[in-house]
Amino acid sequence: MLRPLVAVSTDAKPVENYVWHATPEPYLEAAVSGAGVIPVLVPSLGEKIDLDSLLAGVDGVLITGSKSNVHPSLYGGDASEENGPYDPARDATTLPLIRKAIEKGVPLLAICRGIQELNVALGGTLATELQEMEGRFDHRAPENASQDERFAIRHAVTIQPSGCFASVFGKDAIHVNSVHRQGVATAAPRLEVEAVAGDGTIEAVSVKDAPAFAVGVQWHPEYWVKSDEDSARIFRAFGDAVRAHAARRREQSVAAG
Ligand SMILES: N[C@@H](CCC(=O)NCCCC(=O)O)C(=O)O
């Protein structure tokens, strides 16, 4: 059986004399080993990428994390030096890609910056510097730490009993890592809150009435996908949704002759 392709977001980053479109390896590794799919990078070229053509050729979309923040102008906020860095090229690619994937029923998994992009793409807003907000935890990774320490499992999240993640995890709470300073402020109308942290931070969402799997998580399941069962469950569920989409696409292709 051929393995399905999954479109993966990229950051547009100046490196030496060029702008590179790249994404960190853990997301790609997790797509291969955790979801059983083949990741294909989508350059952050905005409207130069014909999304109908792209989504006709893949069976899933994975929106990754990034140190950069969604530009505040996209949700009525004000840009500032402190609130950066920004990646407008990525925003111009991922937000339309997210909306089109949901519309076309292409399975979507959005991680960290990805859940924030999902929320903004559907009309929600973001809060920045959560750690400075009354009653909130510090959701950032420790500084001057190894990657394993930065992505260490750090806090519990409560899973909403009636949501799609309840069936993915089969329990009412899991423990997750935390590497972010922003978060969902106002959830978009189409989003169902699926998990929250002890300080009320929204940690996972799903898209109401989406024709296919469409979820976002604020934590990083890709990082421990090989050793943490709950992380593995998310990627397995995404992979299963991708394979179901691929099977539907094959059937439609055969039926169309
Ligand atoms: N920039 C946003 C999203 C955070 C995110 O995606 N973090 C993952 C990568 C980070 C790293 O390796 O430091 C925010 O800060 O909320």
pLDDT at 147: 98
Orientation angle between helical segments 88-104 and 113-121, nearest 10 degrees:
70
200-205 mean pLDDT? 98
When pLDDT is averaged across residues 39-60 and rounded to a whole number, the result is 98
The span from the CA of 125 to the CA of 127, in Å, is: 7
- Mean pLDDT, residues 64-87 taken together: 96
242 contacts 6 by C-beta, under 8 angstroms: yes
What's the whole-number mean pLDDT along residues 108-126? 98
In this structure, which residue's CA is closest to atom 4 in ligand 1?
A: 180
Closest residue CA from atom 9 of ligand 1: 66
CATH classification number, 5-255, choose in 3.40.50.880, 3.40.50.300, 3.90.1150.10, 1.20.1420.20 = 3.40.50.880
pLDDT at 34 > cutoff 90: yes
Q: Where are the alpha helices (DSSP H) in 14-170?
A: 25-29, 51-57, 88-104, 113-121, 147-150, 164-169
Amino acid letter at 239? Answer: G
Element (H, E) at 233: helix 229-256
| 222 given a catalytic annotation | yes
What gap in Å lies between CA 175 and CA 151, rounded to an integer? Answer: 12
Q: What is the pLDDT of residue 1?
A: 83
Residue range 126-135: mean pLDDT, rounded: 97
Average pLDDT over residues 85-112: 98
pLDDT at residue 116 greater than cutoff 90: yes
Q: For the chain, give the percent of residues with pLDDT over 70.
A: 100
What pLDDT does residue 28 have? 98
Is the C-beta atom of 69 inside 6 A of ligand 1?
yes
pTM of the model: 0.98
Give residue 88's pLDDT.
98
ipTM for the predicted complex: 0.98
pLDDT computed for residue 238 by the predictor: 98
The verdict on whether 155 is a catalytic residue reads no
Domain ranges of the chain: 5-255
Is there a catalytic annotation at residue 175?
Answer: no
What pLDDT score was predicted for residue 191? Answer: 98
The whole-number average pLDDT for the span 95-110 is 98
Residues whose CB is less than 8 angstroms from the CB of residue 148 and which lie 6 or more positions away in sequence, other chains included: none
Q: Given 71, 139, 180, 220, which residue is catalytic? A: 220
